[in-house]
Amino acid sequence: MDTLPLHPAQAAVLDRLKKLPKGEARGLIQTLQAQCKARKLYYKADYQPLGLTPFVLTREVLPALQAMARIIFRFQLKAPALFRANVGGFANLVRIERRTAAWFSRYGERDARPWELLVRPDFGLRPGPDGRIIPTLYEFNSCMLGGIYLHSESLEIVEEEALPALGLSSRRLGIRPSPHLLGFLRAWLLDCRRRAGHSDDGGIAFLESLPPGGGFSELPNITEYFRSRGHQAAHGDPRTLEVRKGRVFLRGMPVAYAYRDFSFEDVSGPDNKRMLGFAKLWEEHRVAPTFPSDFDQKGILECLSSPAFHRLFSREEVRRLRAHAPWTRVLSERRTESLEGKRVDLVSYVAKNRERLVIKPSWESGGEGIILGPMATQARWEKALQKGLETPGGWAVQEYLGLPKVETGYLRGGEIHLKPCRATVGVFHEGSNFAFHARVSPKNIVNVAQGGALSAVYLSR
């Protein structure tokens, strides 16, 4: 397994952590845990694991990440139209289930407005043949984005508490904090509301489908952040929206604009009485993100890696895609291009090339259901393959590249751990600006839901 070189800032922090006397280490842990508690930095019932080593994006890597985020943003804006017209068989690559189809059938003809979309593609970083770091795209994300609150608070804790406790500062290390994600989200939503012409006396509704008894969610804390900045804001289920005298209310607050953090599959169709308030907001362009965000399934990466769809991109974009988008195909009985560029029977090819491939559910999150070919038995691999074929558009197979590890310091379970970890970086983009978050884990699958730590992202000065 390749390893990533340490940035000098990472090396300096690791050196201090290794040399930290036990008493000072205990004091640092207590300070950080107190900050986690005060800032409500929890994932489910425990403290969110906290990366202490800065995740540094260098000037070498940053332009490639930004260029790929722009390509994905522009492509996703086109996705609803590509689906309606089934361009190049696009509709066969995605799975639009019953409730989403009902909303799309009713409202899918309306043009996507660019400012109503926020994407977060996730990348791994790996060394190329010449030693340069190459970002590798793993998945799209644009509906129910996670990590916005957790990363913002993690970054502040590292910047204001951890680095000073180690006798360091970001300026001294030659790095600067990445854009504040909560501030990025706030600017985007306020711009959406302004562009939609709904800057009246109403507030912003943060909407999600709440399970019985609740569950983990960043939205209550995000709502509180907006209130602390002087905005009216409320958090709730879209099915609790009320319509009174032509206006939509959530928990007594008139709604000027809404942030959708749910899939249509988790609610009801547009004709259901409980969704009338949300349908009114949707009809009046008072909601973001809109339909392009529903086309963030992993299988759509086939469009980025298949020559059949390259006519949808410019020459420069195709060059970027070939460098950064891994070979991906939606699982189905058909012939297609292999990793080597030859026409093959896809099912037979996948069965015979387990050690080079990964099978993923196309729409799941949290790292659930992923089968890493090199770590699976042939029997388990073939069982996953057959399961994937039973759900058209539901599963994708992807080239396995493997993430290299980099030595990392993180706080978890009341202890500071120093271990080699794999890492991924998410790039938030709304058509103009960029913000970032990163996750690190000693495990093969890097995900917060799988026990990974959020790592504060810094940029080289």
DSSP string across 266-334? GS--TTSGGGHHHHHHHHTT-EES-GGGG---GGGHHHHH-GGGGGGS-HHHHHHHHHHS--EEE-SSS
Does 344 share its domain with 391?
Answer: yes
Its domain, for residue 340, covers 329-400
How many other CB atoms sit within 10 Å of the CB of residue 386?
A: 12
Q: What separation in angstroms does the CA of 284 have from each of 68, 193, 194, 223, 277?
A: 32, 11, 13, 22, 11
79-117 pLDDT tens trace? 999 999 999 999 988 878 889 999 999 998 877 899 999
Is residue 321, in this structure, part of any structural domain at all?
Answer: no
For strand 50-57 and strand 133-139, is the pairing parallel, antiparallel, or unpaired?
unpaired
Does 136 share its domain with 216?
Answer: no
Classified as helix, coil or strand, 118 is coil
Classified as helix, coil or strand, 99 is helix
Strand partners, 372: 358
Residue 26: the pLDDT is: 96
Is residue 317, in this structure, part of any structural domain at all?
Answer: no
Does 209 share its domain with 137?
Answer: no
Q: Which CATH number does the domain housing residue 350 bear?
A: 3.30.1490
At CA 340, angle to CA 94 and CA 140, rounded to 5?
30
Is residue 102, in this structure, part of any structural domain at all?
Answer: no
CB 431 within 8 A of CB 115: yes
57 sits in which H/E element: strand 50-57
Does 440 share its domain with 389?
Answer: no
Does 165 share its domain with 217?
Answer: no
Does 210 share its domain with 268?
Answer: yes
**How far is the C-alpha of 55 from the C-alpha of 41, rounded, in Å?**
19
Residue 326: the pLDDT is: 95
DSSP of 220-231: HHHHHHHHHTT-
List the structure tokens of 212: 């019985």
Does 243 share its domain with 267?
Answer: yes
Q: What are the pLDDT tens digits along the chain (461 aa)?
A: 477 889 999 999 999 999 999 999 999 999 999 999 999 887 666 778 899 999 999 999 999 999 999 999 999 999 999 999 999 999 988 878 889 999 999 998 877 899 999 999 999 998 887 778 899 998 889 988 988 999 999 999 999 999 999 999 999 999 999 999 999 999 999 999 999 886 667 999 999 997 755 567 899 999 999 999 999 999 999 999 999 999 999 999 999 999 999 999 999 999 999 999 999 999 999 999 999 999 988 888 999 999 999 999 999 999 999 999 999 999 999 999 999 999 999 999 999 999 999 999 887 654 567 899 999 999 999 999 999 998 888 899 999 988 889 899 999 888 999 999 988 999 999 999 999 999 988 877 666 665 678 899 999 98
Instruction: Give me the half-sphere count of Cα atoms (radius 13 Å) on the Cβ side of residue 440.
Output: 28
Is residue 308, in this structure, part of any structural domain at all?
Answer: no
Helix, strand and coil percent figures for the chain, each rounded to 5: 40, 25, 35
Is residue 293, in this structure, part of any structural domain at all?
Answer: no
Is residue 158, in this structure, part of any structural domain at all?
Answer: yes
Q: What separation in angstroms does the CA of 458 have from each of 24, 57, 58, 65, 270?
A: 25, 6, 9, 14, 43
Does 347 share its domain with 250?
Answer: no
List the structure tokens of 114: 């660019």
At CA 296, angle to CA 82 and CA 97, rounded to 5?
75
Closest of 422, 395, 394, 398 to residue 408, by C-alpha: 422
Closest of 178, 182, 177, 184 to residue 159, by C-alpha: 177
List the structure tokens of 235: 């958090």
How many other CB atoms sit within 10 Å of the CB of residue 255?
A: 26
Is residue 266, in this structure, part of any structural domain at all?
Answer: yes
Does 419 share its domain with 388?
Answer: no
CB 163 within 8 A of CB 169: yes
Close Cβ partners of 232 (under 8 Å, ≥ 6 residues apart): 202, 203, 204, 253
**How far is the C-alpha of 52 from the C-alpha of 417, rounded, in Å?**
10
Does 384 share its domain with 258?
Answer: no
Does 363 share its domain with 444?
Answer: no
Is residue 89, in this structure, part of any structural domain at all?
Answer: no
How many other CB atoms sit within 10 Å of the CB of residue 219?
A: 18
Count: domains in the chain:
3
**How far is the C-alpha of 30 from the C-alpha of 35, rounded, in Å?**
9
Residue 448: the pLDDT is: 63
Does 158 share its domain with 47?
Answer: yes
